[in-house]
Amino acid sequence: MLIFLLFLMTGIALGYFLNGKNIDKTQKIFLNVSILLLLFFMGASIGKDPELFDKIAGFGFQALVIASSTIFFSIIAVLIIIKFMGNKQ
């Protein structure tokens, strides 16, 4: 856990001291490579665990139900709020 906090503090210090410097392109490349490596290693760990690999279909169905419910009830809430507050365009 300490190593994670060390990396976090190092990133904060680097961002503070390099504020205003032109490192946008380098930063974007580093961020993209980091995300790709993270996704690769997460996929490798999922692939090597047969129990988790078999349950992915169930996770996908649950995620679909949760996402659909969230969207549906958000739309309902907005329609109710518009009805009570009036349509001010």
How confident is the chain (89 residues) per 10-residue block, as mean pLDDT?
Answer: 87 79 75 91 84 77 92 95 76
Specify the pTM: 0.45
What is the rounded distance in angstroms from the CA atom of residue 51 to the CA atom of residue 1? 27
pLDDT given for residue 20 in this prediction: 62
Residues 9 and 43 in one domain: yes
Model confidence pLDDT, tens digit, residues 8-32: 899 888 878 877 666 677 778 888 8
pLDDT given for residue 75 in this prediction: 96
Asked if 82 contacts 88 with a C-beta cutoff of 8 angstroms, the reply is no
State how many domains the chain has: 2
What is the rounded distance in angstroms from the CA atom of residue 39 to the CA atom of residue 32? 11
Show the domain range for 30: 1-49
Residues 34 and 9 in one domain: yes
Residues 40 and 9 in one domain: yes
Residues 45 and 59 in one domain: no
Residues 21 and 62 in one domain: no
DSSP calls for 61-87: HHHHHHHHHHHHHHHHHHHHHHHHH--
